[in-house]
Structure 1
């Protein structure tokens, strides 16, 4: 009996070991999309600071490891969607010239979602897909609350804009080597409010759902639209950002949100999921990978999306 059991264990182990090479073969090229993947940061975002602190923590390398061509862009850390969109369009054209590709797959986080949608709207021939991650596609309740305190034309608003532009935004852009980019924190705020988002959506409606929490058109003008995001604020006790997102999340009056964007506002085109146990920073694997250990790694979700694009011929 013992001999038979030992033989069974040996056979099972051999089978498991024999499967390992097959798994590696399957992983090869897993993220190898037809078109380059272009990452677009959100409000107060950057590409890399001092060459060491990445906004998209470990995500580009993970995508490249299995075949993807990945480019990380830098647009104004704070400005209107249209200004940021024009900056992104210029970089997309440069990427296409460098790679010889005819299109790109845009992946935008937070304000990067509408920024990517702008490019797809004005130059759809250059865009294969737009993936919105925690995207502010129909405004943010927190942005609405801030705008209520800082209305248009208020002296307090002017003072706050000057302070943010000259300190936080200037610091981010200088440390990332992009100090020349124009800054306008008030324009960014307006773009992220419900009213600002609605005005933008009238000009660029592609992928926007027609119901409160539904899906939008999957394909518009040859561009495929996807979205995903989280619905938690507190996900890791060691993450200092969770407390701040817990406070901002209180402005959503009980609606599911990631701390800065409601789950329904994230919806665009084909909704992969907007109920990951992630907050707004987790969606880009920040801070430094301190995310929910009981949820799929954000890095893996990006890999899955790249594979989805690959399988769609994109």
Structure 2
């Protein structure tokens, strides 16, 4: 006790105490400033970035509470998103440079037709950033608004009604259809079965299973009836609640089988009044795709060969012109990539510019 008392009386003790308090205060202020910088930066990036993956968003939150580490993490996240900024700046410059040309202002408007198990929601666009890019370059866009799941014939009827509605409202006379996946089959039905060849000037199908999916035949033949009915009931009930008037899961899946498509192709022939063209793509490896296509690629490959994660390459071609797309390396271009499902930029393929040039080509053809 006497030693402690002597220490307290020593003049250096108070000097050290002052230094310690100053250091503690400085460290506290530094931590607070660091946290302020981090959370301001992270919130800004999270609210504005489309490209930042969920993985890095989670890492950012977890590391946000660890001093110094959080600033290193923020630096990494900013580095990732800097490429996004560079791409978007170039996009703006490109669109401004050709704004007067309106290269996507076709004679007839564009009707975008979605694929199976999706809908044309008002706030979540099936086609990602594509429609906005087309509109910036002069395109007039409409949507199919057919049900998410039903037979090709029934969805074709819905599209036929939609086409007549657009023509009645706008007096545009005809439309150019760009359809993805099953939407291409629905569109062919609208043209050939429901008489829309009078009102459709062109049909471009994107990754459409014109010859069906062999794996779908296998699954439907092997799955227990009780399981199929249970899945169908769950799906149909859920989709009715979000807008489908009469969804039919079983009819939709059945119409995607190779056997159903073979039979349909024999009777549903092309119209000479319509320009048909098609596009397909390939996912190079399972790891190149996003969930769930990274899980389905190998299974589909067993039955259908090279594929986009869902549809075999041999099923894509239809019409006068066919374009096959892929990129080097393990990635490739998936079924979802072709409609900008994940809003993702990746090397060697710009999905937005691809559609701009696709529509620009329709304009050059006078369509």
TM range (shorter): 0.7 to 0.9
Q: Normalised by the size of structure 2, how large is the TM-score? A: 0.67
Q: Distance in 2 between matches of 1:72 and 1:22?
A: 23
SS of the residue corresponding to residue 197 of structure 1 reads helix
After superposition, what is the alpha-carbon deviation per residue over 1:18-43, rounded to whole angstroms, capped at 9, x for unaligned?
A: xx899824872111111110011111
| Alignment partner of 1:290 out of 316, 324, 344 | 344
SS of the residue corresponding to residue 54 of structure 1 reads coil
Where does residue 4 of structure 1 map in the other structure?
none
Q: Distance in 2 between matches of 1:132 and 1:46?
A: 17
After superposition, what is the alpha-carbon deviation per residue over 1:239-295, rounded to whole angstroms, capped at 9, x for unaligned?
A: 434423435434435x221011111201111334223331110010112x125x123
After superposition, what is the alpha-carbon deviation per residue over 1:120-177, rounded to whole angstroms, capped at 9, x for unaligned?
A: 21321111000000001110123222212247xx34332332122223x346xx1xxx
Greater relative contact order, per chain length (Cα 8 Å cut-off, separation 6+): 1
| Alignment partner of 2:306 out of 231, 245, 256 | 256
Does 1:313 find its partner at 2:366? yes
Higher Cα Rg, which structure? 2
Does 1:34 find its partner at 2:107? yes
Deviates most, 233-242 or 295-304: 233-242
Structure 1 contact 233–249 (Cα < 8 Å) conserved: no
Q: Distance in 2 between matches of 1:69 and 1:37?
A: 6
C-alpha spacing 1:229/1:237, structure 2 compared with 1 (3 Å): closer
SS of the residue corresponding to residue 111 of structure 2 reads strand
C-alpha spacing 1:248/1:54, structure 2 compared with 1 (3 Å): farther
SS of the residue corresponding to residue 178 of structure 2 reads strand
In terms of fraction of residues, the more strand-rich structure is 1
Q: Distance in 2 between matches of 1:21 and 1:58?
A: 16
Structure 1 contact 226–268 (Cα < 8 Å) conserved: yes
Does 1:229 find its partner at 2:293? no
Q: Distance in 2 between matches of 1:312 and 1:267?
A: 20
C-alpha spacing 1:239/1:53, structure 2 compared with 1 (3 Å): same
Structure 2 contact 211–258 (Cα < 8 Å) conserved: yes
Q: Distance in 1 between matches of 2:130 and 2:361?
A: 16
* 1:73 positional shift: 2.1
Where does residue 47 of structure 2 map in the other structure?
none
After superposition, what is the alpha-carbon deviation per residue over 1:29-76, rounded to whole angstroms, capped at 9, x for unaligned?
A: 11111111001111111112xx33211101111111111111022211
SS of the residue corresponding to residue 274 of structure 1 reads strand
Where does residue 184 of structure 1 map in the other structure?
248
Structure 2 contact 163–175 (Cα < 8 Å) conserved: yes
After superposition, what is the alpha-carbon deviation per residue over 1:191-229, rounded to whole angstroms, capped at 9, x for unaligned?
A: 1001111121122122xxxxxxxxxxxxx4210001002
Structure 2 gaps, min length 5? 1-92, 327-331
Q: How do 1:98-177 residues align onto structure 2 when only pairs under 5 Å count?
A: 98-121=169-192, 122-150=195-223, 154-167=225-238, 169-170=239-240, 174=242
Where does residue 279 of structure 1 map in the other structure?
334
* 1:99 positional shift: 1.6
Q: Distance in 1 between matches of 2:336 and 2:351?
A: 10
Structure 1 contact 75–87 (Cα < 8 Å) conserved: yes
The alignment yields a C-alpha RMSD, in angstroms, of 2.4
| Alignment partner of 1:90 out of 154, 161, 185 | 161
Q: How do 1:190-209 residues align onto structure 2 when only pairs under 5 Å count?
A: 190-206=254-270
SS of the residue corresponding to residue 255 of structure 2 reads helix
Number of residues paired by the alignment?
Answer: 268
